Chains A and B, each alone.
Chain A
Amino acid sequence: QVHLVESGGGLVKPGGSLRLSCAASGFTFSDSYMTWIRQAPGKGLEWVSYISSSGHTTSYADSVKGRFTISRDNSKNSLYLQMNSLRVEDTAMYYCSIEGNTGQFDPWGQGTLVTVSS
């Protein structure tokens, strides 16, 4: 059974940093495209970042480009999101997900909450 578990969220001050992790199991992680998606409190879904199966190709939403870095360790079946220069508007639940062949996201982890506040 496919399982994704995010961790690393918490309370951080503006300008601070956090590193999110996503532990994957139940599928061939090294063959899978992975993505991070976030949802601000009471708001809709926003795609954040994508990484190819090898890790050689990445992409970022304009709202996080230059501040966030996506990476993966296929030997550990793990996905990461390094978040620097955090802003109040980065406050959200962050989900990791597998990207399918036509760009769909399935399944999703349960999410980890990031709160940026002074």
Chain B
Amino acid sequence: SYVLTQPPSVSVAPGKTAGITCGGDNIGTYSVHWYQQKPGQAPVLVVYDDSDRPSGIPERFSGSNSGNTATLTIARVEAGDEADYYCQVWDSSSVHSWVFGGGTRLTVL
């Protein structure tokens, strides 16, 4: 089955830019989606189809995807961005097609 690999943690100072990676074999050929989950809350979609933002998501959140790595970038990081972030793809070539990365804890210093 398809595997997505994320770093367990990323730390960033307020006002700086954070990058969270998601690695997978030829992930550039998939549509990658990103979710934010704050403690005690359900996940929220923040980027879909590699780089699109749902309505209501700040422009500070952006995504890219190429080769074997997808990246979620958060510009001008705020304390409220501290959360777990998960990448996810739909592998249409597989019966059990919906795969999540292991998640990355973003800490705002």
Contacts and interface: CB of A to CB of B under 8 A. Distances in A.
Interface of A: 35, 44-47, 50, 59-62, 95, 99-100, 102-111
A103 B33 contact: yes
A47 B102 contact: no
Given A45-B103, A50-B98, A59-B95, A107 B45 contact: yes
Interface in B84-109: 86, 88-90, 92, 95-103
What's the dominant secondary structure at chain A's contact region? strand
B31 interface: yes
Contacts of B44: 107-108
Interface of B: 31, 33, 35, 42-45, 48-49, 54, 86, 88-90, 92, 95-103
Nearest to A111: B42
A59 B100 CA distance: 16
B75 to A, nearest CB: 22
A46 B89 CA distance: 12
A102 B31 contact: yes
Q: Which 10 A-B pairs have the closest CB atoms?
A: A103-B90, A47-B98, A106-B45, A104-B33, A108-B42, A102-B31, A104-B48, A45-B100, A44-B103, A44-B102
Contacts of A46: 100
A99 to B, nearest CB: 8
B42 to A, nearest CB: 4
A94 to B, nearest CB: 11
B92 to A, nearest CB: 8
18 contacts: A45-B35, A45-B88, A46-B100, A47-B96, A50-B97, A59-B97, A100-B48, A103-B31, A103-B90, A104-B88, A105-B35, A105-B43, A105-B45, A105-B88, A105-B98, A106-B54, A108-B43, A111-B42
B38 to A, nearest CB: 12
Contact of A104 (B49, B92, B97): B49
Nearest to A95: B42
Contacts of A35: 98
B31 A109 contact: no
